Structure 1
């Protein structure tokens, strides 16, 4: 191969690599955020035992049926002008022990968190479950900055619309949602922070999924969970699945160590197993953060 041909081959290879990296840069958020854009059903139609505000009590044996909760479909308003769908659910007939702000992961929408919402409400907690922009029929496209605005809209709803004291609010983050609530907690410290399957930062988990790409160089959204949680001075509980195939358990343990958090590890549990979505250990971990 002559020198001229070799130079041409190298140049072509460089151009191909540059074009591939440019394509990844352009579409990366489609790889990070996997929303279900389907509009979400009314909360009372999917939550066991739920009734809407003002509904008459159901007849039957209260000792054997699912405890009733009040379920509202509410709208959140972001600082950049978007309207987001959310559920606000609370136990019926008693004051909630605390309120849990639930930030979901990168996939689906809040309909997939209905079993968790129901169990938290049955445990005596009020719950606000919302969808990010681009999820659950909401307008907009998700990004790190966008999700920060979304969760602040949820926090304002609780503290301003419903006048819930910040010290009675527990933040719950699932996977990507761990980054969302951790960043919020730096500005608005909660009563406690529950992180389920947190990663060190988005680049660290991205490198596990795409080991052949220079992920840290390419990423537009960073979500530095470990760095941010180390700066918090609130109670933190980290729940991790021992066989998580999406977020390596070692990363969740690193986050727990950085936060001086209580670690709840569920042996054999994968990222989307029911035990990590709505299991007893998970619910107990949330209730352990309720202020006494």
Structure 2
């Protein structure tokens, strides 16, 4: 009987090791349509990563020269599901507020080559930032990072290397192990290939930070998002959205755009 228990534990451990990234990364692999067919004056761009991948992305210019986001550019790192087509309305709302936005897909998402991992999406984010820095229509001193859920981990790691003017984290988790145990109670850290230590990195950043989360979030518990906010050295704003779940429409809409607008105002020269 003891041998059976051991074998079951070993098999479960092997399965967790082999299949975990399929539980973490949930890409829509289909290629989105051309940006200009969905968003006025938007353009399709190609990002080249340090390991040689070419990734599709959209650059969406701001449409309101007097809006709160005028002269700011947002690097938007999405969550773990779908592809950039599902963030088109968010990019449109940001554009209406004056923000230009680079909306990119990770490797393995949106028709892109490769398979996602912690190291891989970090490379993808660096390529996205480099594209912005290479553009003549982007002020490098007015770049804001905006991460959704898993994207919070992506932009937090990027901020440790290349600090932005400000950063907004929507529904951040403290670290991957903690959110994994919320869903699978017995998952030990030792089996995790990826770590994404968001709170630990945030605690070391001197970057103006806004944290937004829904109080009814069942995917990333509100307590974890609150802990990320608590760890910040320079918290501009904590925005709690009462009764909202992780993927409720307002989590992609006006409350987040308004919070980003206030963040931009707080970091104006």
The 2-side partners of 1:282 and 1:257 are apart by 19
8 A Cα contact 2:64 2:98, kept in partner: no
Task: Note the 1:18-57 alignment, pairs <5 A.
Answer: 18-47=10-39, 50=40
SS at match of 1:272: coil
| Residue 77 of structure 1 pairs with residue 48 of structure 2 | yes
Q: Which residue of 2 aligns with 1:252?
A: 225
Which of 170, 186, 208 does residue 235 from structure 1 map onto? 208
Q: Which residue of 1 aligns with 2:169?
A: 195
Total equivalences in the alignment: 261
TM-score of the two chains, using structure 1 as the length reference: 0.86
Q: Which residue of 1 aligns with 2:159?
A: 185
Q: Which moved more, 1:121-130 or 1:86-95?
A: 86-95
8 A Cα contact 2:71 2:139, kept in partner: no
The 1-side partners of 2:137 and 2:35 are apart by 22
SS at match of 1:151: helix
How far does residue 19 in structure 1 lie from its aligned partner after superposition? 1.4
Q: For each residue in 1:3-35, what CA deviation from the matched residue of structure 2 results, as whole angstroms up to 9, or x when unmatched?
A: xxxxxx211221221012101101110011000
Q: For each residue in 1:37-95, what CA deviation from the matched residue of structure 2 results, as whole angstroms up to 9, or x when unmatched?
A: 01011112223xx1xxxxxxxxxxxxxxxxxxx20011000000000010001134849
8 A Cα contact 1:206 1:215, kept in partner: no
| Residue 120 of structure 1 pairs with residue 112 of structure 2 | no
Which of 252, 271, 277 does residue 246 from structure 2 map onto? 271
RMSD: 1.4
The 1-side partners of 2:55 and 2:46 are apart by 6
The 2-side partners of 1:233 and 1:176 are apart by 21
How far does residue 161 in structure 1 lie from its aligned partner after superposition? 3.6
How far does residue 162 in structure 1 lie from its aligned partner after superposition? 3.9
Task: Note the 1:123-134 alignment, pairs <5 A.
Answer: 123-134=97-108
The 1-side partners of 2:33 and 2:190 are apart by 40
| Residue 288 of structure 1 pairs with residue 259 of structure 2 | no
The 2-side partners of 1:146 and 1:163 are apart by 27
TM-score of the two chains, using structure 2 as the length reference: 0.94
Unaligned stretches of 5+ in structure 2?
Answer: none
SS at match of 1:102: strand
Which of 128, 138, 160 does residue 164 from structure 1 map onto? 138
Q: For each residue in 1:167-204, what CA deviation from the matched residue of structure 2 results, as whole angstroms up to 9, or x when unmatched?
A: 21000000000000001001111010000000000000
8 A Cα contact 1:243 1:270, kept in partner: yes
How far does residue 218 in structure 1 lie from its aligned partner after superposition? 1.0
